[in-house]
Every structure is written in C-alpha cells, then in structure tokens.
Amino acid sequence: MPEQDTSAKTKEYYLDTPQECDRFFLKGSGNYDWGMKNRLARIFNPASGKTVMLAFDHGYFQGPTTGLERMDVTIRPLAPHADALMCTRGALRTLMNPEVPQAVVLRASGGPSILKDLSDERIAVSVEDALRLNASAVALQVFIGGTHETQSVHNMTSMVDACNRYGVPVLGVTAVGKELTRDARYIGLAARILAELGASIVKTYYVDDFETVTAACPVPIVIAGGKKLEELEALQMARDAIDRGASGVDMGRNVFQSDAPVAMIQAVRKVVHDGASAEEAFELYRELTSRGV
Ligand code: 5RP
C-alpha cells in the first residue's frame, strides 16, 4: 500500500521560476529524443563540445594491424584517456574491461578483407547486440563512389532505421576508394550524403578547405587520423581540423603507432579539449615521454 504524503512541510511550486528549457550543445542534434542526446553527450564532452575517440577497429578488415597485435596490452592503457572507444564487438567482449566509463562506438559494418573489394560490406551487428553492449553509437562505412556504393548506403540507412527505434546514433564513416581523389569536393559530397541519409555523426579525413566540408554538413564531423605521421604533424592536423569546424577526432594509428601512445593521446586531448596549439600539445608529449609515459 503506497503511503500518503503526510509531510508537515508546505508544498512549494516555485511559481515565479519558469521551468528550464535545455538547449542541446551539439551541432544539428537539438531535435533528437532524450536517449539519443544522452548517448551523444557521452561521446562528446558537453563542456568543450568535442570528442577524442580512440579507433582500434582496424582488425575487422586488416587483421592484426601494427600496434593492435595485442590490444589487451596496447589499447587498455589508452582507454582512460579517450572519451569514446571505437571498436568491434569481438575486441570489446574479449579484451576490454566492462568497468570502463568511456562511451563505446561499435563497428557495425564489415565483410570483405583487404584481399577483396572493401566496398562490398554488409551490416555486421544487430541493434540488439549493440544495445546489449551498451553502445553509445554504431559506426558503418559508406563507400561513396565505390563499386558497392548503393549497398553500403543501404547498410547505413537500414541501421539508421533500426537505431532510431532505440535512440542510438549512427556514425557514418566516409571511405575513400584508392581511385578517388581525397579533396574537399569529394569529402564534402560524401559527408553531406551521409548526414542527409540519417547519420548523426560523420567521420572523414582532413583535407584542404575543410571548413567548406564542415559548413555544408549539418551534423558533427570527426576526423580519422589516417596513416602514421610525425607526432607534431598529427597534432597540427587535429588543430587545423578543429579550427575549421571539426567536432573532434577519431584517431587510431597516429595514437597507437606512436612511440609513446599514452603521451600522444593526452597531447591530442590538449588540442581538442583545451584549445592548445600543436606546439603546446607537442611540448606536453615531450614532457610526458621524458618522464617515461
Ligand atoms: C576503418 C576506420 C578506422 O577506424 C579509422 O579510419 C582508423 O583510424 P585511423 O585512420 O586514425 O587509423 O574507420 O576504416
């Protein structure tokens, strides 16, 4: 039997205080439902509006990538410094500690290996399994201009429909085929298509004139790091991307293939969240490495 409200205190309705109406901090995300916003706020830091995602899903098509041979050894120490972990369900279940507070962005497309046409992907995870893993978003590759362009677009739109039922954001990854020019015209085309077809976040490569890509894409863009660069160069790329409208990075090789990955991810955070210049962040990298980090 529920108890009656017998409190002697006078009820207070704060009649002179209008109810607060929250404005959501993230680009293009103001009209989503609560669960979707809450998941996005786990990936993107509401204070800075940015994210440092750690990508270590490379094994899903290229096997034991350099730096990812033993993810229990190399990735687990990096996890505390990331806002979100982008990985496959296999890596998550077998190697990552479920006690980590980081958001999970789950790789949800796959199929071909590096031995085949990479654009021939299918959906590789159900939304139910993504929810079972408490994913904050799922990620699918979309091959605009690739042989299997339509199939890969369909993978993403099917997943958007499934994920919208549960408030799970979809991150669309623009994959650039060998034969396609990686420039603002192409990246801008791909990013815009993904956003228009329902991606809540777009991941792409940093290119010259990046501000035109971010301006014409109505959802947050995060950049991939791409091939390993010198640390200062990678930090400069992150700085340039943020300055030109990126909402964060989803870096893999430039972190886990660094000589000092734990120092590098902290330097990346300084650029993304603290507004540091590449040089200031590199100074932090050097200081941390001199201390053996
Ligand atoms: C694979 C991916 C990877 O997660 C991502 O591109 C790799 O990150 P990086 O380029 O920084 O190593 O989406 O296609």
pLDDT in tens, 74-107: 999 999 999 999 999 999 999 999 999 999 999 9
| Token reading at 73 | 């050894």
pLDDT at 39: 98
Please report the atom of ligand 1 found closest to the CA of residue 255: 11
Pick from 52, 57, 113, 223 the residue to mutate for probing ligand 1's pocket: most ligand atoms within 8 Å of its CB: 57
CA-closest residue to ligand 1 atom 8: 252
Whether 6 maps to a domain, the answer reads no
The protein residue with its alpha carbon nearest to ligand 1, atom 10, reads 226
* Residue 157 covered by a domain: yes
Residue 178 has pLDDT above 70, yes or no: no
Point out the residues that are catalytic: 203
Is the pLDDT at 176 greater than 80? The verdict is no
Range in 29-43, 110-124, 228-242, 277-291 the model is least confident about: 110-124
What pLDDT shows up at residue 181? Answer: 81
Q: Closest residue (by CA) to atom 1 of ligand 1?
A: 58
CA of 249 to the centre of ligand 1 (A): 10
Spacing, Cα 20 to ligand 1 middle (Å): 40
Whether residue 15 lies inside any domain: the answer is no
Residue 119 above 80 pLDDT? Answer: yes
Which protein residues touch ligand 1 with a CB less than 6 Å away? Answer: 55, 57-58, 86, 141, 173, 175, 224-226, 251-254
Query: Range with the lowest mean pLDDT among 5-9, 54-58, 86-90, 216-220?
Result: 5-9
The verdict on residue 272 lying in a domain is no
**pLDDT greater than 80 at residue 271:** yes
CA of 204 to the centre of ligand 1 (A): 9
- Which atom of ligand 1 is nearest the CA belonging to 203? 13
Q: Which domain holds residue 69?
A: 34-40+49-258
Taking CA atoms only, the protein residue closest to ligand 1 atom 4 is 55
Q: How many domains does the chain fold into?
A: 1
Residue 132 lies in a domain: yes
CA of 140 to the centre of ligand 1 (A): 11
Instruction: Give percent of the chain above pLDDT 70.
Output: 99
Residue 180: the pLDDT is: 72
Q: Is residue 23 part of a domain?
A: no
Q: Identify whether the C-beta of residue 172 lies closer than 8 Å to the C-beta of residue 203.
A: yes
The residue whose CB lies within 8 Å of the most ligand 1 atoms, and thus the one to mutate among 173, 201, 206, is: 173
Which residues 6+ apart lie within 8 Å of 212 measured at CB?
A: 184, 188
Average of per-residue pLDDT across 206-230? 98
Whether residue 5 has pLDDT greater than 90: no
Q: Calculate how far, in angstroms, residue 251's C-alpha sits from the geometric centre of ligand 1.
A: 7
Close Cβ partners of 52 (under 8 Å, ≥ 6 residues apart): 81, 82, 83, 84, 248, 249, 251, 265, 268, 269, 272, 273
Q: How many helices (H) and strands (E) does the chain have?
A: 12, 10
Q: How far is residue 108's CA from residue 121's CA, in Å, rounded to a whole number?
A: 10
Q: What is the mean pLDDT of residues 207-227?
A: 98
Q: Which of 58, 174, 201 to mutate to test the pocket of ligand 1 (most atoms within 8 A of CB)?
A: 58
Rounded to the nearest whole angstrom, what is the distance from the C-alpha of residue 16 to the centroid of ligand 1?
52
Position in ligand 1 atom list of the atom nearest CA 251:
11
Position 218 in a domain: yes
Whether residue 1 has pLDDT greater than 90: no
DSSP sequence for 211-263: HHHHHT-SS-EEEE--S---HHHHHHHHHHHHHTT--EEEESHHHHTSSSHHH
Backbone angle region of 134, left / alpha / beta, with phi > 0 → left and psi within -120 to 50 → alpha: left
pTM (two decimals)? 0.96
The span from the CA of 173 to the CA of 1, in Å, is 53
- Across all residues in the chain, what is the average pLDDT? 96
CATH number of the structural domain spanning residue 254: 3.20.20.70
Whether the predicted pLDDT of 177 surpasses 70 = no
Helices 261-274 and 231-243, packing angle to 10 deg:
20
Instruction: Note the pLDDT tens digit of each residue in 123-173.
Output: 999 999 999 999 999 999 999 999 999 999 999 999 999 999 999 999 999
Q: Tell me, yes or no, whether 174 lies in a domain.
A: yes
